[in-house]
Chain A
């Protein structure tokens, strides 16, 4: 059945029907052809209960936070400051994309919002300075995925919610792998640009005084990170509530930078509604598809399949990695997590693996899914912010970073302490 669903998914997507609508159509299809029960009768309830969620309200809050930072000019300043510090590297401004994405990941819970923020401030520069659009936009799409690895993270909240594991511990566990991944992105950029310098554009150096002066522009984001993460670890707010704290913080920062106006406020609000609805149509469609797949026995099919393999714990992890890569091509990330966690996590934990560690491994694989076609939200977000050029360029440009993530996944398997050291050390 997974085969049929995949083929239908690809076909419908190729017809350029909106992704969220395709998910509903597949759900209807499974209802008609794959199940003897009238699943579509449950459609209204599924739409209501998948959108009536206090956990998901973190999405508009984090998007709004990003909108405020962009429209008040804070994001542009951050980007320019990081440009001063990293553009001497082979690859130039591409590093600023990764560095800015890393910083915004620390204030944003969503990869889509992170990618959207960075794409908005970076794209105008690429055209001005004549960068190769592939690597430049690929780095934004990939860097944006860090949004769900470096705390705070909506996806880790959902993982903690579904596996009943500690969200603050998951956040701590994501920090080092997230930073390591950011570093790895920069290393791979350097390597690529040493081999093919024409991909990177001009390297630029700035006088030390300018570099030091630029540091002040990084302060707002660092403060915001401290505020959001501090609220969680001081016990003032739950991880979801911390998103609201972030909105207030961003608003105050924007006020101090003088970037608040009526126009800016209305645009931030409508922009938030637009992005949130776009994500939610996909999330709701995915929930309905998930409901039909589960009713039609996808869970059983997967479980039976895995058991029939008779795997060792290590073999199990390898198969799981492979599974996420394949499913990650086609399934939107939040739904991918929701669909697989109830099936995969008990198996993995039963094989003796740590549930927090697996959460981080899963996030790396989910990050890959965000930049693999045909369903890779970050690719579309970056493409959406571009004025010209085709989606293929973004996909190609993201490929090296995709491979870097795969390497990171194996590093996590070989050295679980990359994720577990920090939460254990702080206990």
Chain B
């Protein structure tokens, strides 16, 4: 059950990561176009601003993918010295703390969006981008990350309670079994 949930979330977030990656690729193309156009004496304008937004959104929405791929760096000097039950405890504890922090961030991200809604804020640039357009998806990305953390935490917790320690590690361990870069 837990493993099936995690598997579904992994597929879902791989899709999200592909979208994020495609966004970064478009951003690179945008920057390149600007460089080329400058050679011909004109310019798209605002690439720096848009690149900043792209980075903020890519970061927010990519976090959950990295989490599910067990990609957030952890130090396992102690963890690697104990048996599978101990490792499972390390993993669950780490996930609980992580969820707490990410939920806090998501909650504190709301005032940023709220302010740009309330003030109708527009970027301090010639583009005058309405900041709601970027703050809203950014906020949603952190909420998504918080949600994913909580689900992973619950799954890991449930596995530990049922004594399936090795499976906990596949859900919330320190390293992915199959490293991506291969």
A→B interface (CB under 8 Å): 13-21, 24-25, 28, 40-41, 43-45, 47-48, 51-54, 56-57, 60-61, 64, 67, 70, 116, 119-120, 231, 236-237, 240-241, 244-245, 247-248, 266-278, 280-282, 284, 374, 377, 380, 384-385, 390-392
Would you call B110 an interface residue if the criterion is a C-beta within 8 Å of the partner chain's C-beta atoms? yes
Would you call B104 an interface residue if the criterion is a C-beta within 8 Å of the partner chain's C-beta atoms? yes
> How many whole Å from A19's CB to the nearest CB in chain B?
5
A-B contact pairs, 18 of them (CB 8 A): A16-B77, A18-B74, A19-B73, A24-B101, A44-B108, A44-B110, A48-B135, A52-B53, A53-B55, A61-B24, A119-B181, A247-B28, A269-B21, A274-B17, A274-B71, A377-B73, A384-B175, A385-B181
Q: How far is the CA of A287 from the CA of B68 in the complex (A)?
A: 24
Encode B64-86 as 1/0 by CB contact (under 8 A) with A. Answer: 01100101111111111000000
Q: Is the pair A273, B182 in contact by a Cβ cutoff of 8 Å?
A: no
Q: How far is the CA of A32 from the CA of B123 in the complex (A)?
A: 33
Would you call B52 an interface residue if the criterion is a C-beta within 8 Å of the partner chain's C-beta atoms? yes
Q: Is the pair A48, B112 in contact by a Cβ cutoff of 8 Å?
A: yes
Q: How far is the CA of A280 from the CA of B27 in the complex (A)?
A: 18
* Dominant secondary structure of chain B at its interface with chain A: helix
| 7 further A-B pairs in the complex, CB-CB below 8 A; given A70-B181, A266-B18 | A16-B77, A18-B98, A45-B112, A53-B56, A54-B52, A60-B24, A236-B35
Known: A24-B105, A385-B181. A278 touches B59 (CB 8 A): no
Q: What 4 A-B pairs come out closest when comparing CB atoms? A: A269-B21, A277-B62, A43-B108, A277-B66
Of the residues A18, A19, A245, A377, contact of B32 by C-beta under 8 Å = A245
B79: nearest chain-A partner, CB-CB: A16
Encode B48-64 as 1/0 by CB contact (under 8 A) with A. Answer: 11011111101110110
> How many whole Å from B23's CB to the nearest CB in chain A?
9
Residues of A within 8 A of B98 (CB): 17-18, 21
B112: nearest chain-A partner, CB-CB: A44
Interface size on B, residues (CB 8 A): 68
Q: Is the pair A17, B17 in contact by a Cβ cutoff of 8 Å?
A: no
Residues of B within 8 A of A282 (CB): 73
A285: nearest chain-B partner, CB-CB: B101
Most A C-beta atoms less than 10 A away, residue of B27, B72, B91:
B72
Residues of A within 8 A of B48 (CB): 54
